[in-house]
Amino acid sequence: MKPTKTLEQFEHTAAGLVVRAPAKINLSLLITGKRPDGFHGIETVMAKINWYDELLFEPAQTDGIDLICTGPHWAPDGEENLVYRACQLLYERAGKIPSVRVTLTKNIPAGTGLGSASSDAAAALIGLNRFANLNQPDSVLNKICASLGSDINFFLGGPLAYCTGRGEKIEEIHENCGFSAILLMPDISVSTKDVYGNYTHTKQEYANLSEKINPLLRKKRIDSVAKICANMLTESCFDLYPQLEQIKQDCERFCDSKVCLSGSGSAMYMLISEPLEKFLQVQDYVKKKYNCESRVIYNNRW
């Protein structure tokens, strides 16, 4: 399968403004433990990839937010969708009456650990702010993101960041970290809530991984961090969805390379190295054996 190119974030068309919302993968994900607010603290390196949902902003015929969801994957209409809520909150903050038609083309499935709903929300804020000339500063956009979800703030910034707290504390990484990978997408929708609920924290595991990863982060050796393939949610996810572990083990044997879980799953990825042919062959292998879709991905430029 040929990889898609890195497209531009914004595109002006005859219909209106198109804003692309990239998926992400976690190059590492550590859990620091349970916080007083009930959330789990995390330390994660997140990287945007060149696979996108798209939001089209058009003038509305009447007042209100008209959200239409289309594309190969389902997404809720109305206030259940983070796109709708993001637009609503931004209009409120700007003191303007809502009036916009938004078409969300859902290319990235939910329940995969790729952050598409969060990316959609961030794209909605960036796009609406530009399309409707609301002129709200980044500080306002960041506050709205933090109120909507834990990892939405990441998608407002650059392509690579170290995220802590609940995921809302963002430290952009400006070093170049080019990568290519095979993204595996089993036909399994994973509940992030269930994975965190099933998670048992091990202080020693966290300490051991921190000891490996933190010196590399200080040296900006993100490529070396990614090769460790650390995700402390893996055991909890595989305990709930054992077929994912089987796919991981089979692919690791096939390519003699690590398979890493992204976020809470179900998507997994393999960083590509030589020989390239073996990694491309794994796509046919997982399709035939597990009916598992896959695609070649790259780091996103923005």
- Annotated catalytic residues are 24, 151
Q: Which among 156, 151, 131, 154 has a CA at the least distance from the CA of 141?
A: 156
Helices (H) and strands (E) in the chain, counts: 9, 11
**Alpha carbons 56 and 49: distance in angstroms, whole number:** 20
Classified as helix, coil or strand, 149 is coil
Q: Which among 175, 275, 186, 168 has a CA at the least distance from the CA of 226?
A: 175
> CA of 178: how far to CAs of 160, 181, 295, in Å?
10, 10, 17
**Alpha carbons 161 and 46: distance in angstroms, whole number:** 6
Q: Which among 91, 125, 238, 112 has a CA at the least distance from the CA of 183?
A: 112
- Cross-strand pairs, 127: none
Please count the CA atoms within 13 angstroms of the CA of 255 that sit on its side-chain side. 28
3-state helix, strand, coil in the chain (%, to 5): 35, 25, 35
Residues 239/198, Cβ–Cβ less than 8 Å: yes
Locate 267 and state its tokens: 């998507």
